[in-house]
Amino acid sequence: MAYKLTQDLLTPNPYSRPKDKLKSVKAVVLHWTANPLSSAKGNRNFFENRKSGNSGYGSAHYIVDLDGSVIQCLPDNEVGYHVGSHVYTSHALNRLSSYPNNCTIGIEMTHTDWEGRFTSDTYNSTLELAVKLLKKYGLDENDLWLHHTVVGWKDCARWFVNNNSEWIKFKTKAGEMLRGKANLNKEVDTKDMEYVSADKDGYYTIKNGDTFWGLSQALNVDVKTIEKLNPKLDAKNLKVGQKVKVKDIKPASKPSAPSPSPSKKGDMKTTSIVTYLQSIGENSNFSNREKLAAKYGIKGYKGTASQNTKLLSLMRKGSSPVPSKPKAPAKSSGIKSIGKVKIVGVTNAAIIQDVPDRRASKSLGSIAKGATIEISGSVKGKNNTRGYWEVIYKGKRAYISAQFGKLI
């Protein structure tokens, strides 16, 4: 499939197009737009509007639309602000640089829901574009990164982060397109990235490729502090499995009176919900955080900073989860079914919309590829030349793009 490429470069400005030149190209980094059903043009304009200086820094070189078309926002040889962070993974520091924006090309992928699912057109065009860039700069499938694997804390691109087998499959396909056979580096990205963190006593276990410098950046600790805490360790001869003191944690004094505490003690200093969940042995991926948020009464969890901070606070305080209310019996909708459609033409699932307009609708849920759903008709709607199926979803009228439903 040959994607349609439109060059619509951002206006030079300090916040999204500084016009600084890349020092080299060492990687292609994939992102999600974190805005379901939004268009490539809309996201491009969001980057453009950053030039006012009122919404911080941020941009990417390419944005892949839901229909597979591509907008180029920055020339390949210019710096984009797509992986800026105060910390980076040790792999990124060792293989890229201490500031990966200066040696990477960023691709933003539009998606259909808050799980981060892509249309088949978005997936295929992104794969084709990524392979083209890898060839251009003499790279291979091991030089494909996620925003998550660069910075270690952001669940971007969310679908790949939470479904690591899909990420491995994507990279394998890239390798096959490059030279007929994939050769994945078994030391990097063959499983969901582990967040670099110290244990409860302030120790970190050395992994392959770790350095004091990398640990200092990943943990936001000064190199001299690590050296001072480990006077007998040779920083130039670290061995896998060695214990390195990275935080000077003193034993806590006993409180004079008991105070409320969470059911499980964990890292009580971190500001990251991901790090806290890992410290108490909980799964930290988005799906589990979404379930925990619902238990603690946080509605509409989307992984925002404020929601994560609230969840972290509630769990630390040992607040009781909100009891779920019994569901009332479902009422008959009274909507007449005229048949069923089978979900086709998507990578994983089709999005169910509240109105027949893919750019203005809200996501009500999704339906897996191959599943069937009853329909009550079809409508022309907006922003889709193929129109929409009017489906019966939870007893109410909803819509899916016509190209994703085959009448059976």
**Per the domain annotation, does 333 fall within a domain?**
no
Burial grade of 99 (CB within 10 A; 0-12, 13-18, 19 or more): middle
- The CATH number covering residue 21 comes to 3.40.80.10
CATH number at 343 reads: 2.30.30.40
pLDDT at 164: 83
Domain match, 386 and 276 both: no
* Whole-number pLDDT of residue 316: 79
Residue 187 resides in a domain? no
Residue 20 shares a structural domain with residue 124: yes
Nearest to 50 by CA among 73, 77, 34, 27: 73
Shared domain for 149 and 37, answered yes or no, is: yes
My answer on whether 76 and 108 are in the same domain is yes
**Residue 60 forms part of a structural domain:** yes
**Full residue range of the structural domain in which residue 257 is found:** 253-323
Burial profile 269-304: b = 16 or more Cβ within 10 angstroms, e = fewer: ebebbbbbbbbeebebbbeebbebbebbebeebebe
Residues 172 and 24 in one domain: yes
Same domain, yes or no, for 25 and 172? Answer: yes
Same domain for 275 and 229, yes or no, is: no
CA distance 147 to 120: 21
How much is the pLDDT for 325? 57
Residues 310 and 379 in one domain: no
User: Is 117 within a domain?
Assistant: yes
The partner residues of 350 in beta bridges, in order of sequence, read 367
Residue 195 lies in a domain: no
Identify any residues that bridge with 104 across adjacent strands, giving them in sequence order.
Answer: 27
pLDDT score, position 89: 79
Dist. CA 388–CA 190, nearest whole Å: 39
Pair (16, 95) in one structural domain:
yes
Q: What is the pLDDT along the chain (408 residues), one digit of tens a residue?
A: 588 999 999 999 999 999 999 999 999 999 999 888 899 999 999 999 999 888 889 999 999 999 999 999 999 999 999 998 877 877 888 889 989 999 999 999 999 988 899 999 999 999 999 999 999 999 999 999 999 888 877 788 989 988 888 998 999 999 999 988 888 776 554 343 455 667 778 888 887 667 787 777 666 677 888 899 999 888 888 888 899 998 876 655 544 444 444 445 677 777 777 777 777 877 777 778 888 888 888 888 877 777 888 888 888 776 555 555 555 544 445 677 878 889 888 777 788 888 888 777 787 888 888 889 998 887 888 877 778 888 999 888 999 988 888 888
Q: Domain for residue 331, yes or no?
A: no
Considering the entire predicted model, what is its pTM?
0.54
Q: What is the CATH number of the domain that holds 222?
A: 3.10.350.10
Query: Are 270 and 82 in contact, with CB atoms under 8 Å apart?
Result: no
Domain assignment present for 354: yes
Q: Is the separation of the CB atoms in 238 and 211 below 8 Å? A: yes
The Cα–Cα gap between 113 and 121 comes to: 15
For residues 39 and 89, state if they share a domain: yes
Verify that 133 and 217 share a domain, yes or no: no
Domain boundary among 225, 245, 265: 245
Query: Has residue 44 been placed in a domain?
Result: yes
Domain count, the chain: 4
For residues 299 and 360, membership in a common domain is answered with no
Torsion sign, CA atoms 325, 329, 334, 338: positive
